Amino acid sequence: MPEARFKQWWATPLVGLAGGYLASLIGWPLPWMVGSLLAIILVRCLSPWQLAEIPGGRKCGQWIVGIGIGLHFTPVVMEQVLAHFWLIFFGALLTSVSSIISVWIMRRSGEDRATAFFSSMPGGSGEMVNLGARNGAVLSRVAAGQSLRVLAVVLCVPAAFKYMLGGGTPVLHPAPVDVFWLAVLFPAGALLAWLWQRLRQPNPWLFGPLLISASVSILFDLHTGLPEGSSQAGQWLIGSGLGCHFNRAFFRRAPSFIGRTLLGTALTMLIASACAVGLSALTQLDLRSMTLGMMPGGIAEMSLTAEVLQLSVPLVTALQVMRLLFVLFLAEPLYQYWVRLKA
């Protein structure tokens, strides 16, 4: 049985590496994630070879990325984030509310209420599928909508930022590598991720390491970083895992649903960008970091984009985490209120 599973995924890391390397040669932003993602999708769609996800690969990538993101938090940076708490709060709230446009598009095309709502909320795929299951949604469509949204944001946003807006002014200099602290943080992050997972909490392999890393970095004012190539390894593992969610049947199954999802995602991104312009003008905070933080993508993907483009990783991460908390805690009560209102 293990040998049969190995035959399904042994080529996945190699195809992902090839795609990441080619993307890095042409200078594509976030190359090891976008390149590996596209390479896996192309192989699965254009050939009968259905590459499977590396067992634990995406979790391992999130573990590495979570530690790296957390190391960007220092006492000075945390003071700046807390000083703009209400800005982060309202920015995340606006991003969450903007997803109503996607719900409206889905409903106009005849999608049932639960499926339209939970496939459009900018939360984690697993969490939204669980909420959808409790409320009678079509789970395959909820999962498809969530996966497509992340795919669209990962493919479009880093490229748009690099080629249209340009990179930001470097806000953090490369930090030295402290082997002792990394030897402490990685096992501690894995332990908290395991406990977080046992408690059925969202996104455990990102949040657990991120929380440990950020807490220790702030408490001891570490100013350390990951070894060269660690971020690329995390990108490669996450991209390879995400690509295995797509194949030819996925794109053929419901082309109109895919089109509506992409349209809703595009409109949500435009609304988020407009809100970011307004909030940045009011506060004089970096427009690029604000815009990236308000994009309806995943925390790991958007934080990595901020790191690659030398933007404010803590600000982007804080906005993304706050948005996810809004969606996780408010999505189901709001949906049930909507149902009672219609009844």
52: in domain: no
Q: How confident is the model at residue 4, as a pLDDT?
A: 58
* pLDDT tens profile 67-120: 999 999 989 888 888 888 888 898 888 888 889 999 999 998 888 999 999 999
Average of pLDDT values for 133-160? Answer: 88
265: in domain: yes
CA–CA separation, 316 vs 214, rounded Å?
14
CA dihedral 68, 313, 32, 239 (to 10 degrees): 80
48: in domain: no
- What is the number of alpha carbons within 13 Å of residue 138 lying toward its C-beta? 11
Q: How confident is the model at residue 286, as a pLDDT?
A: 86
Runs of H (alpha helix) within 47-178: 57-70, 75-83, 85-98, 100-108, 113-120, 125-134, 139-160
314: in domain: yes
Average of pLDDT values for 2-23? Answer: 86
Sign of the alpha-carbon torsion through 311, 322, 124, 225: positive
92: in domain: yes
The DSSP 8-state label assigned to residue 198 in this structure reads H
Of the pLDDT bands very low, low, confident and very high (cuts 50, 70, 90), residue 212 is very high
CA dihedral 275, 158, 203, 122 (to 10 degrees): 40
Average of pLDDT values for 11-40? Answer: 92
Q: pLDDT averaged over the chain?
A: 88
By the 8 A CB rule, do 81 and 314 touch? yes
34: in domain: no
Q: How confident is the model at residue 173, as a pLDDT?
A: 53
CA–CA separation, 182 vs 196, rounded Å?
20
* pLDDT tens profile 282-338: 888 888 899 999 998 888 889 988 888 888 899 999 999 999 888 888 888 999 999
For residue 211, the Cα-to-chain-centroid distance in whole angstroms is: 16
Q: Which residue has the tokens 């708490």?
A: 85
φ, ψ of residue 284 to 5 degrees: the values are 65, 15
CA–CA separation, 23 vs 17, rounded Å?
10
22-44: b or e for each residue (b if 16 or more CB lie within 10 Å)?
ebeeeebbbbbbbbbbbbbbebb
By the 8 A CB rule, do 12 and 40 touch? yes
Number of domain units in the chain? 1
**Which domain, by its residues, includes 182?**
66-229+254-342
Residue 53 is encoded by which pair of tokens? 């996800």
Q: How confident is the model at residue 125, as a pLDDT?
A: 77
* pLDDT tens profile 227-249: 988 999 999 999 999 888 888 88
By the 8 A CB rule, do 331 and 205 touch? no
By the 8 A CB rule, do 95 and 122 touch? yes
Of the pLDDT bands very low, low, confident and very high (cuts 50, 70, 90), residue 262 is very high
What is the pTM for the complete model shown?
A: 0.88
Q: How confident is the model at residue 214, as a pLDDT?
A: 94
Q: Among residues of the chain, what percentage have pLDDT more than 90?
A: 43
Q: How confident is the model at residue 66, as a pLDDT?
A: 93
Q: How confident is the model at residue 171, as a pLDDT?
A: 44
Q: How confident is the model at residue 165, as a pLDDT?
A: 64
- What is the number of alpha carbons within 13 Å of residue 334 lying toward its C-beta? 14
3: in domain: no
Average of pLDDT values for 130-142? Answer: 88
79-112: b or e for each residue (b if 16 or more CB lie within 10 Å)?
eebeebeebbeebbebbbebbbbbbebbeeeebe
Q: Which residue has the tokens 């994009």?
A: 295
Q: How confident is the model at residue 103, as a pLDDT?
A: 92
* pLDDT tens profile 168-199: 554 445 678 889 999 999 999 999 999 999 98
Q: How confident is the model at residue 174, as a pLDDT?
A: 61
53: in domain: no
Candidates 296, 6, 337; CA nearest to 153 is 296
For residue 190, the Cα-to-chain-centroid distance in whole angstroms is: 19
